[in-house]
Each structure stands twice: as C-alpha cells, then as structure tokens.
Amino acid sequence: MKKNRESVLSRKIWSRRSSILPEFVDCSVLIYNGKTPVRCRITEGKVGHKFGEFASTRRRRPSRTKKGKGRKGKK
C-alpha cells in the first residue's frame, strides 16, 4: 500500500459503508455523497469509522434569524 500512495491520493470512494483502514492515514480521498464527490483528509482519529460519516448528504441552510425583521412591525 505504501508503494501505491499516488493511486490512493486521488481515489474516489463510492461505498459509504466501507470502513477506513490504517493504510489510508495521511491521504485525501473523494467520497461520493450522492451528488458530487467530497474531498476528505484521513487522519488517525478517523480509522475504524465509515467513509459516509465524513461526507454529508444534506444541505446546510442559513438560519432564519439572520434574514432581518420582515413584516413583523409593519401593518
């Protein structure tokens, strides 16, 4: 695995349920989230977890409190 370091660096992971092995430490992989691949840097703390835990499939939405006043004070 050490010899194939270049092939691991640009590897696309389609299986989100696969476990992260110690050979992937200090590599960055592309994890498919259902729409686009998400780049993820593998560290020692992520070993033993699943790839899918680090590629969110949900969109982040801005909070409603930052939108402004709106029509609350007007009649």
Letter for the amino acid at 26? D
How far is residue 39's CA from residue 74's CA, in Å, rounded to a whole number?
A: 46
Which domains are present in the chain? 5-56 (3.30.860.10)
Model pTM greater than 0.95?
no
10-residue mean pLDDT series, the chain (75 residues) = 57 91 91 92 93 88 68 60
pLDDT for the residue 66: 60
How far is residue 39's CA from residue 42's CA, in Å, rounded to a whole number?
A: 10
pLDDT for the residue 73: 58
Specify the pairing of strand 28-32 against strand 37-41.
antiparallel
